Amino acid sequence: MLMKARKTMNAAAHASSKEEGVPVSVRIRERVKAARKRFHANDNIADFIEPGELEKLLDEVSDKMEAVLDSLVIDTENDHNTGDTARRVAKMYVNEVFKGRYVQGPEVTEFPNAEHLNELMIVGPITVRSACSHHFCPVIGKIWIGVMPNEHTNVIGLSKYARLAEWIMGRPQIQEEAVIQLADLIQHKTQPDGLAIVMEASHYCMAWRGVKDMDSKMINSVMRGVFLKDANLRREFLSLIPGRG
């Protein structure tokens, strides 16, 4: 346990360098602020993290998570189940479920639309995993993406849509904002005539706590370009989504 080991370190060793006394989260936050960028829960801050800092951030989150367990009056020293929980939770946040905040977006190669595809293309269902910004409870569901290409639209591989979605959803999110962020990203990468996204997800903050409703799902959508203007196209897209027609 990192924190307990650290408590025994002598003060002189701790104060060896002034930089060391500043938590890495503070250094990162200062860079973000200096650049006048936002660092909301669903923002990506990878540009402000220097090599090696993510490991230090993991240590910091781990220490603070240990403090949360202490405040919950859990005997992590003697309880064999929770001895490493702080570190596990820190790893889960930083390296897994919220990774989309801390790492650069996936490499996506765009190709010119050589075949001049101009038919509605639908990708999905793509399974998405996220967590709500309000409670940090899981949000798990599916998305469908409809793309109406034109001859200038860039083409990206089908699996890339899933990688882009994973990056956006790997942050504490609000479903309405998540689909807009994903739409902006796909729009930017592919420049289609139209883009439609439907997301259907279960919010575990409503199942595990709160109203304890196990079955409610939230569905929302974003429509861009021709999907906004053309009701028939919109209907066609929605009718082609299995179970959602």
Task: Give the per-residue contact string, 78-117, with Zn ion (x = CB under 5 A; - = no).
Answer: ----------------------------------------
Rounded to 5°, angle at Cα 215 from 213 and 218: 95
Interface with Zn ion includes 132 (CB under 5 A)? yes
Q: Does 178 bind Zn ion (CB under 5 A)?
A: no
Angle at 190 between CA 187 and CA 192, to 5 degrees: 70
Instruction: Indicate whether 164 belongs to the interface with Zn ion (CB under 5 A).
Output: no
Cβ-based nearer residue to Zn ion, 41 or 205:
205
Measure the CA–CA gap between 147 and 137, rounded to whole angstroms.
31
Least separation in angstroms between CB 181 and Zn ion = 18
Site residue total, Zn ion (CB under 5 A): 4
State in angstroms the smallest separation of the CB of 25 from Zn ion: 23
Q: Which is nearer to Zn ion, 116 or 134 (CB)?
A: 134
CB nearer to Zn ion: pick between 49 and 201: 201
Instruction: Give the separation between CA 99 and CA 121, rounded to whole angstroms.
Output: 29
Which among 133-141, 160-168, 171-179, 181-189 is the span making contact with Zn ion, rule CB under 5 A? Answer: 133-141
Helix runs in the chain, H state only: 2-7, 11-14, 18-21, 24-34, 53-71, 85-91, 99-102, 158-169, 175-190, 204-207, 226-229, 231-240
Compare residues 94 and 132 and give the one whose CB is closer to Zn ion: 132
Regarding 217 and contact with Zn ion (CB under 5 A), the answer is no
Compute the C-alpha angle 160/165/87, nearest 5°: 115
Instruction: Give me the sign of the Cα torsion angle 8, 13, 15, 19.
Output: negative
User: Of 99, 129, 135, 244, which one interacts with Zn ion (CB under 5 A)?
Assistant: 135
Task: Identify which range of 98-106, 112-120, 124-132, 211-219 contacts Zn ion by CB under 5 A.
Answer: 124-132
Determine, following the binding rule CB under 5 A, whether residue 205 of this chain makes contact with Zn ion.
yes
Q: Which has the closest alpha carbon to 196: 178, 216, 182, 217?
A: 182
* Token pair in block for residue 97: 């479920």
Q: Does 134 bind Zn ion (CB under 5 A)?
A: yes
Distance of CA 13 to the CA centre of its chain: 37
Chain residue whose CB lies nearest Zn ion? 205
Choose between 62 and 130: whose C-beta lies nearer to Zn ion: 130
Q: Strands, DSSP E only, in 51-159?
A: 111-112, 121-132, 138-148, 154-155
- The interface region with Zn ion, picked from 20-28, 68-76, 92-100, 197-205 by CB under 5 A, is 197-205
CA proximity to 189, closest of 120, 102, 107:
107
* Comparison of 132 and 164: residue with beta carbon closer to Zn ion: 132
Q: Which residues bind Zn ion (CB under 5 A)?
A: 132, 134-135, 205
